[in-house]
Amino acid sequence: MVRERVIETMEGIQDAFDVAAYDRWMRGMRRHGWIETPEILKAGITSGTALEISPGPGYLGLDWLSKTDGTRLVGLDISDEMLVRSRRNAASEGLADRAEYVHGDACSMPFEDGHFDAVFANGGLHEWADPVAVFDEIARVLRPGGRYCITDLRRDMQPCWKWLMAAVTRGRAMRAGLLSSIAAAYTPTEIRDLASTSHLDAPTIGGNRIGLSIVGVEG
């Protein structure tokens, strides 16, 4: 039986110490190839200007930029501390001219209709106060034919996978954060129900042993 969701805050990781710890963790995830760039590319997000929702320290979007040609990235995050960190990381990788980071709430994005060729997000879905509102905003800011790919953990993963992930996560605070994120995550069935009430055009809900995905093309 799947436990009821334990809702996390919408404030994001704000404290400078927490941001630094999260930066180190995500940098390690990228180094080991444990980030979702292949899923984004598989979804057909390979060109144009993409919006990344909740980029955190920015490594996923920067990895996507490094694997695509002539692309641009706009990151939208609610945390000022994360924005500072992502800008710093973009500069250190020589990608500052292709990456811009904006403060804002994903439930009410500060962008015009049809502004982006693609939207992607990883690991933030379980923190969104109103996922349907974010889905509607994604549909709004995408141009016709624009692609989206949203990935996150899934709450209904088998306990052995949850504890394996916890075992390989270094640091007590990061391990606790991982477990709270899993507890706040959705199941594919829950996301299918939520997405069906949104303006997203025929999303495909998928997943694997530890995560779920929402992929589609706006009409």
Instruction: Kindly tell me if the per-residue pLDDT of 145 is higher than 70.
Output: yes
State the amino acid at position 117 in one-letter form: D
Q: Is residue 10 part of a domain?
A: no
pLDDT tens, residue by residue, 66-120 = 999 999 999 999 999 999 999 999 999 999 999 999 999 999 999 999 999 999 9
pLDDT tens, residue by residue, 149-204 = 999 999 999 999 999 998 988 878 788 888 999 999 999 999 999 999 999 999 99
Average of per-residue pLDDT across 31-39: 91
CATH number at residue 41: 3.40.50.150
Q: Is residue 9 part of a domain?
A: no
Average of per-residue pLDDT across 16-40: 85
Q: Is residue 106 part of a domain?
A: yes
What CA–CA distance (Å, rounded) separates 206 from 204? 6
Q: Is residue 42 part of a domain?
A: yes
Helix, strand, coil abundance in the chain, percent, nearest 5: 40, 25, 35
Angle of helix 188-195 relative to helix 131-141, nearest 10 degrees, comes to 60
Q: Which of 12-26, 46-60, 80-94, 178-192 has the lowest mean pLDDT?
A: 12-26
Q: Is residue 2 part of a domain?
A: no
Instruction: Kindly tell me if the per-residue pLDDT of 208 is higher than 70.
Output: yes
Q: With cut-offs at 50, 70 and 90, classify the pLDDT of residue 11.
A: very low
pLDDT (0 to 100) of residue 9:
58
Q: Is residue 135 part of a domain?
A: yes
Cβ–Cβ under 8 Å, residues 203 and 214: yes
Q: Is residue 43 part of a domain?
A: yes
- The number of domains in the chain is 1
Give the CA-trace dihedral at 58, 60, 101, 121, to 10 degrees. Answer: -120
pLDDT (0 to 100) of residue 49:
98
Q: Domain residues for 64? A: 16-217
Q: How much is the pTM?
A: 0.93
> 153 by DSSP, 3-state: which?
strand
